Structure 1
Amino acid sequence: MLLYAAGAIAPAPAPARAQAAPPAAPTYTVFATREGLVGHRTANGHRIRPRDRFVALPSSAVLSSDGGNEFQVRVTYRDRSVVLPVWDVGPWNTRDEYWQPQRRYGDLPAGLPMAQAAYQHGYHGGRDEFGRRIRTPNGIDIADGAFWDDLGMTQSDWVQVTFLWMGADTGAPPASAAPAGPAAPPAEPNAIVVDDGGAGYGGEAAVQWYDADCGVGGRHAWTYGTPDAAQSENRARWAARLPGLGFSEAFAYIPACGRPATQAARYRVQHDGTARDVTIDQGAAGDRWVSLGVYQVADPAVAIELSDVTGDDGRAVRFDAVKWLPREDVAAPEARATEAQRQPDGSVLVRWGGSDDVSGIAAFDVQVRALPDGGWSDWLGGATTLEAAFVPPGPGGYAFRARATDWLGHQQPWRDADDVRVEIGT
């Protein structure tokens, strides 16, 4: 007798559904600089060691704990790649989550750091969130050990950064997957622009100009350079009349197409009966506006000149557009003591330096204190040099710090921390 169980026959179990792979973490190409600052503390309290390994990103929202890996990135440079924790905040900004589609600077696309947009496009007036003039387009700082040893970098350069808390780590992106460099931005609405071939431009050629199909307006003129002034054949002048007086910054646009460009194009900026020569590496500055400096202008008639006399031979010299932008000095300068070295005669050679956004540094003040807990004392006031010899009153440790004042009287506040330290033996 055959027996059948009551009820429906159970179907065979369905095969297990494969889980979808998590999305890959986003990767963007950004400009990287070396952090250095050995002996200083990062934003998470870590004391920076020689050959350290971590990065700084411009948002405190992704800061890992000291020694922690809560937030990590993969940094790829050429054929090398390394995963690093985020232990510091910077460069420049502290609230720029440029890796997020929804970010503080909502009019910028994901993957474009605000500092890069400010440096290359004049975004936010060319300043960071604190009002400082942005000098480099960096979106990440890399500690020494990772910069030198892991990635083999010798100078600031473009790298690929993968933000690992946002998705799966798929390993180092192939070199062919690296996004192209940023496109040339348009000039700002308040800029005075003189393009080659336009009003205000005058070019002279003993032989001929060559044309290339890139640059402002879709083209630019170029010629071959020579280090010998006696062989000079081509020169050009961009004349302009500024609508307002005061501080203005001059720029030259450097296109990037065709044969290799000169590493030493010699621009001459003329205003108020004076001239300043500025040398620009056109080969390294392609596809962006390059600053020729900030000038205090009392006569609205200004001009910029360029010839084919360069510091190298046979490379292209590119003659495209120049522009002038009004600048307002609103921020104090930044300065610090950078070095303290014991000398054979028992003195200490102290060096310092700094930068200012517009008007320039007029003078430095330097203070000293005895370690471990001595108070600060004035050592130098109104110094116009960048180094001096300190004669210690006795053996022990000494710390130094510096500040600066610009030509408009803006004075940097003293930092609480030491800039540099030195130990003097008996």
Structure 2
Amino acid sequence: MRALCLGLVALSLAACEDIPRKDYDDFRERTARARSEGQDGETGGSLQDLTGRWLLHALLQGGIDLGLIVELEPASEPVEGEIPRVYTSRIWLWRQDIPPVACDAGTPCPNNRTCNSYGTCDSPPLVVTTTTVNDDGTFQLIADPLDLGTEVLNSAEPVKARVIMNSRSTGPDNWCGDAEGSVVSPLTLNLAGSRFSAFRHVPQDWVCKVAVEDGEPRDCVGDEVADNKNYEHVYQALPFKCAAQPGDVEPPAPDMGVAPDGGPTRPAAPDLSAVDSMARDLTGNWLLDAKVNGAIPLQLWLSMIYTAGVDGSANLDGALRSVTASPGTPALATFTTTVGADGRFEIWLPGLSISTDLATVQADILLAGATLPDAICGIAAGQVNQPPLGALTERTTFHAEPWDPTTEVPMGRPFACPAE
């Protein structure tokens, strides 16, 4: 695919090479102060003209890392010298129109999209609503319903939510606040305690970058321009909450079942008596597919060494890694356990930490497993401590089959023991 220089949405092709870098630098300069978490900010809100397009970064309860584009347009012709109070609000997912497609009177937009005032194509917004700003600069932005699609949680069903953003303007180029509401599908999740922050943004700010380990992101080249994930750094570089105010106190982290002596409490093992199990050598690499509470999918690379004992039982040593990890990458967790003569086992993983595209998940998890002729499977119990999802339900299941880590990760695999 031909490389696309995003500068064409603003100027001529002759200036393409220099414009993306300059636009990105300008964007970073405008938002530099907001990225400083420890800096004092103004207290309360302030009445501002919010007309324009905004890039919003939110961290919703449950670890949903979300980017939105919000456009605020005065609902009526503004009176000269007065700040608009009522706006028509349009909301898009950040990646709906990435990479940007240039348009003008002679170059219409494809696929039912419209040409905006910035000279790029917009898909139909997910939400159109009316927002009224109070005298002190506070307002509620209500997105109901908000269909986030399947990629937000990598789920089979679209994530649908009702989100109420309690906002305050902190200056001409930022508004932020706390969100409430709920995710209603494919799981039910209270969003109270979610946070967000929004900054002025135009399509020309989308400059394709690729993360560089231990270095600054570099410009995209070739087919990388078409990979939406390369743009995530633009919104993820922004804070997801209001800047700290003098006297602010962070709420204490919930104990989430931590034992009084400071160690996690091992839960009771789920009952797998209905699953037939057999003893056999489990040495090798496995692809583990799981679903958390029956809704959130998860894939991990499981490596195990099985050492049989004289009494029919066995010792099992293993390690868990991301499916995208290269051989030799340090494990997310290691374990040693015993496999019974019937092939049943328990793997206790206290303090397990997994970094995903959405967030870093920290949990204390017990895997109760059974050995099948060509797989292992079972049920998990325990707590997800961060984000604070609480106790896992009996619908948290897993299924693993032998896998060669040098091959592609297959999709559409089972995530639970076979039904009777």
Which range, TM-score by smaller chain? under 0.3
TM-score (norm 2): 0.28
- Which has more radius of gyration? 1
TM-score, normalising length: structure 1: 0.27
